[in-house]
Chains A and B, each alone.
Chain A
Amino acid sequence: MFLQLFFIYCALMIVASGVLAISLRNPVHCVLMVLVLFFHMAGLYLTLNAEFLAAVQIIVYAGAVLVLYLFVLFLVNLREELHIDAFIPSPWLGRGIATGLALALLAVLPSFTPGSKGQWSVEAVREMTHTVVMGQEMYSTYLLPFEIAGLILLVALLGGLVLARREENSFEALTKEAISSGCACTQSKEVSQ
């Protein structure tokens, strides 16, 4: 009973803080809403007996990622708001579709029956401890997805770098630079910016 109440509390808070995070005007408030969201996500992991994940969620997301977000917000000057034309002229169309989708999902979810359980029951996990089980599974059964996730991080880094870099070294400028200076490799890169 307590678990159910706790779950409902966490779920509602996640939805509410998620909606607030995208609708508030002040970016710092948005980031703080995301912080609230991360804490309640950690709460959800606790209800699933995943204490390690809950701790990682708090340390990595609430601790590190959010602080980074805040740093970026303070460094970037966000005085001007960027306005882009809406995809769909009327916002009510989107809201209607969203409500319809939510209602349809709520209507079908009661008929949900959990499928067969895998080899890791709660008792088995408790016996080996959560962290050991997760480490073993991740580096054996789920090695391939784990490595692909690592590759995705590399791509995110590369993509972020490409998008953030100032575009001034054009073809001509670069070839001139390469001809005039013997070692253009260090100057032509603006990775440090």
Chain B
Amino acid sequence: MTTAAIQWTAMAPILPELFLVGVAVMLIGFDLFLPRQRQLLPWMTVVGALAALGMVLGAQPGEGFGGMFVIDGYATIFKIICLGAVIITTLMSEHFLRIINLRQGEYYSLLVLSLVGMLLMASAGDLMVLYLGLELMALPIYALVGLHKKDGRTSEAAIKYFLMGGFASALLLFGLSLFYGLSGTTNIAAISELLSSGDLVASPVFLAALGLIIAGFSFKVAAAPFHLWTPDVYEGAPTLVTAFMSVGPKAAGFAIFGRVVFLGFADLQPHWAPVLAFMAILTMGIGNITALSQTSLKRMLAYSSVAHAGYALLGLLAGTAEGMAATMTYLVVYLFMNLGAFAILMALAQPGRRCESLEDCKGLATRSPLAAALMLIFLFSLTGIPPTGGFIGKFYLLKSAFMAGYSLTVVAAVIFSAISAYFYLRVVRYMYMDDPQESTPVVLVPGMKAALYLCALGVLGLGFFPGSLLQWTLSALSGM
């Protein structure tokens, strides 16, 4: 037998992930041995994520582990979105955890471990890494949803999310195993080559496998008709976790969706694009119309996040580089506007009271003009009103879907977008035109303020300089 020496250079591609695993383990140790320095945990998380962001930006494009791990522009952009979601969520954490009286040091390490899973998903070049990354991302979130055990709703939400997540994983795994059986490889690039060389004919089995994995992915990004878990889970989870779940895992879900469907099976676009177009219409319809009748602001935002998954599908189904770039741009904008809206919802919460209904934002403008103004920006952006990033993102999505010939889907998107203005702007009316129900001022602690300013800056910045981000994502996509 020969003894093989370890080549440490082979580890270079996964350096950011390894670093974050180190941060997560350090967070557990820090929480265990230095409980009095607990207030340092969020800052360690933020600094760790920022350092990982630097590493991701500085990484050389290439492959690792025999093509299982891919570093390209596509992966980098999704990694930036996921890292951004964790950084902003962490900034908001301390205040909200204090309000709901939850102290679990493991919260931060679970967040970071979930982040590692998302980064692996973004870089997955192999179906096995893709699936394991997905599980690594999902498992900490199941625990995070059930973290707040004093609230009866969270346990139910956690159980529901766990069961539905397990079911989605089963569908996905069955599809992936069929791909493996048909092609003899789990490497996405190799399957793609077999497809384009015609060795792997698009047989009924292949299409069934494609259907199964689309179903599995749709569970993860909460696209209808696989969105049923979303409202209950989003409403039951602590608002902080909901904010994170509605952005990070969704972006990571789109990362693997695009990696398999758009980059891997581009030749099969005529097969999967109509399915996605139908799902996009259904998702936007169900999300926007059901959101109209909600009295809870949190549940309304949950349905709105379903609807936004539908918008993001528009770019994916176009099957062009422009379309994918539009989806990625939209996910960046969505990161800022959705986290911002949830941050205001968290700022409203008070010890012992959830304050999640629409009534609670009545007269917010008199209680805290700053919070109301920021919420106004986020809601305008979620609706898609011009000076904000939401408008630009939606515009690119509609344009790319229209260019690809899905005019009916585009018309539906515009109509549903107009419907959404009603329930978003209703909140604005409550904030500015109604009298406050209570007089206690809304306090914004420094961490929360930093997160809010970051979100507002992102939403407005992307609105005023629309072309730069799209150009950047396009060049990242074409530079692969």
Chain A residues packing against B (C-beta within 8 Å):
84, 87-88, 104-105, 107-109, 111-118, 140-145, 148-149, 151-152, 154-156, 158-163, 167, 169-172, 174, 178, 184-185, 188-189
Contact = CB atoms under 8 A, between A and B. Distances in A.
Interface in B33-88: 33-36, 38, 64-66, 68-69
A116 B208 contact: no
B160 A151 contact: no
Contacts of A145: 68, 126, 128-129, 132
A117 B109 contact: no
Given A115-B185, A152-B135, 19 more contacts: A108-B204, A108-B205, A111-B204, A115-B183, A116-B185, A118-B184, A148-B129, A149-B132, A151-B113, A151-B136, A158-B106, A159-B142, A162-B110, A162-B147, A167-B102, A171-B97, A171-B98, A178-B35, A178-B36
Give the top 9 A-B pairs by smallest Cβ distance, nearest first: A159-B143, A115-B184, A108-B204, A116-B184, A148-B132, A144-B65, A115-B183, A108-B208, A145-B128
Contacts, number: 129
Contact of A169 (B103, B116, B207): B103
A184 B149 CA distance: 23
Interface in B10-47: 14, 21, 28, 32-36, 38
B143 A162 contact: yes
Q: Decide if the interface of chain A is mainly helix, strand, loop or mixed.
A: helix
Contacts of B140: 155, 158-159
Interface residues on B, range: 35 or more
Contact of B182 (A84, A107, A115, A144): A115
Given A144-B129, A148-B129, A174-B103, A159 B184 contact: no
Nearest to A178: B36
Contacts of B478: none
Contacts of B126: 145
B274 interface: no
A184 B208 CA distance: 57
Given A151-B136, A162-B143, A167 B150 contact: yes
A167 B150 CA distance: 8
Contacts of A169: 103
